Structure 1
């Protein structure tokens, strides 16, 4: 079941949206409104969520409100990593949610929160427990990032580079499972908080971990998951076959689908963070994916008419 569609990921973070090409975020706002309306046209009942912001910035949320974006979505989302990258303490989580609540009456999802094991695996276990204590009852969604460590042979999708030291390398140690698939101490702690706490797991194109991830999530009692479908990947040969396989495997869970990543040849600049040349094309991608994986249920009368016509 697809429970929600999320429009982009961390739009106020230059790892995911280029502020030099869109310094006031007006182009992002236009694209988001087009995407939200396209999703709603395909399935009015599907929850539309503004991509989780990182850092948690009420000023950015106010800007989205002023542009009218919040009139076209059903929820907003925030991402926080106070034990790794943010300049605030983990105990400030309720305050951070309150800052966004002061700007909007929409539900506020914590659609990505996590702790790396870069320094010590015990830190992640403590951080997960404390995060759950602080967020339960304060948000309708808590989605832990992530199930797997990022393989060291891959590149992290971030502005941080290796020269920045641990800021970069922490991205590779966010999983509850190590790269070799063995559990970290926090895995047992995580299982104590399901199904109230969900997961975030990005699956790369033709990701070999997909079936193993499904088995682990069932074992852990996970009921809801956030993942993504990449607009850029949609231009790869065999993209729809991979998307179909991914979504079929994830059918047992309530899935929030994040639509993001500009194809290089369709951006103002050849990079996934670029605003698209034609924002309607991103909206068309969102509509097509909604139609394919989260189509609105037909009324019984319409289904009966179709059966009669077929007969």
Structure 2
């Protein structure tokens, strides 16, 4: 079942939201409020999660609070990759979470955290255990990114691609499993140290890895899974057929489903990072997915610490 609905992904990262179109996040705030209201109307009590921010930025939270966004969301999420992209050290994780807790009364989740094996598979394995120990008891939900390496042929969702140098290529080495499905040392590290952690795994349209991923997640004892349903993909042929297959395959997990990616023909600019021409259309997509895949009513979220 869907345990939470996430509104967008990394909105303060220009690889996911175009700051030239919406420099002060006025359009993003409007869209998020509409989506939050639409989700609540379909499934009262379902936690609505503000798309995980990257970088972690208290000023971004305060900006959205001034715009009334937190009237229509229930959880704030953050993403962090201190061994790969962030300008802070891995031991600062508790302090980075505290920065956000200091400016909001909402629960804070870590909806993506990871370490690439670009430089060393042994460093990645160490990073699993270190991250788990740093976040244990600090946040109620943490999702390791990711189960699989990103296939080289697919390309990473980032603005400048190869011009970013090694920063770009690290995107392809975030998995506990290699592209061919073989295990890295980090898989055993997750099994040994990741109790209570969830996993974030994005599935592409008709992703060939879906069934194997489910088998691995069950083998690892993962309960909490974060994934996405793409608004852009909803315009592909038989999109609902693929969405149904994906969500049916994931039925045994508590799923945080992320709604993101603007269809090119519905954006102010023809790009998946663009603010939509009509934000109500995004809100209706969220509502449609909740009607289809979430129970009509769920109990209100109770405080819970699962990273134990």
Distance 1:38 1:297 in 2: 14
Q: Is this contact kept in 1: 2:114–2:145, CA < 8 A?
A: yes
Whether 1:229 aligns to 2:229 is: yes
SS at match of 1:59: helix
**Equivalent residue number for residue 304 of structure 2:** none
SS at match of 1:128: helix
- What per-residue deviation string (whole Å, max 9, x for no partner) do you get for residues 72-125 of structure 1? 111100000000000000000011001001110100000000000000000101
Distance 2:296 2:50 in 1: 20
What is the CA RMSD across the aligned residues, in angstroms? 0.9
- TM-score using structure 1 length: 0.95
Q: Is this contact kept in 2: 1:80–1:114, CA < 8 A?
A: yes
**Equivalent residue number for residue 257 of structure 2:** 257
Distance 1:195 1:36 in 2: 31
Q: Name the count of aligned residue pairs.
A: 298
Distance 2:113 2:194 in 1: 15
- What per-residue deviation string (whole Å, max 9, x for no partner) do you get for residues 29-63 of structure 1? 00000000000000012110000000000000100
- What per-residue deviation string (whole Å, max 9, x for no partner) do you get for residues 7-31 of structure 1? 0000000000000000000100000
Q: Is this contact kept in 1: 2:109–2:142, CA < 8 A?
A: yes
Unaligned runs of 5+ in 2: 299-308
Regions of 4+ moved over 6 Å = none
Query: Per-residue deviation at 1:297?
Result: 4.3
Distance 1:256 1:163 in 2: 32
Query: Per-residue deviation at 1:195?
Result: 4.3
Aligned positions of 1:1-311 closer than 5 A: 1-297=1-297
The higher relative CO (CA closer than 8 Å, separation ≥ 6) is in 2
Q: Is this contact kept in 2: 1:194–1:221, CA < 8 A?
A: no
Q: Is this contact kept in 2: 1:147–1:200, CA < 8 A?
A: yes
Instruction: State which drifts further: 239-248 or 289-298.
Output: 289-298
Structure of larger gyration radius: 1
- TM-score using structure 2 length: 0.95
Unaligned runs of 5+ in 1: 299-311
